[in-house]
Amino acid sequence: MINVTKLNGKSFYINAIYIETVESHPDTIISLTNGKKYIVAETEEEIVQSMIGFYRAINILGLTNDKGGALDEE
């Protein structure tokens, strides 16, 4: 789950697995696979970075070392 903020300042969590698209028009709109859309205060880049962090946390993208490479690369 990633934490996002509504335009009124209230935060909530979205399951990043169900995010289909993230767009800015100029507000950031997150579209889910079920058709629901959310307008949030975060930028596209912030959402993408949160998604990457979430995917790494549940090991979908794999773990990396502090140099950005895979853990088995030294």
- Looking at the domain assignment, is residue 53 inside a domain? yes
Calculate what percentage of the chain has a pLDDT beyond 90: 73
- Entry pTM: 0.78
Domain, as residue range, for 38: 2-57
- Residue-level length of the chain: 74
Question: How many domains does the chain divide into?
Answer: 1
Q: Is the pLDDT of residue 60 over 50?
A: yes
Residue 11 has a pLDDT of 98
Residue 70 has a pLDDT of 55
- Looking at the domain assignment, is residue 71 inside a domain? no
Q: Is the pLDDT of residue 73 over 50?
A: no
Q: Looking at residue 22, which CATH number applies to its domain?
A: 2.40.50
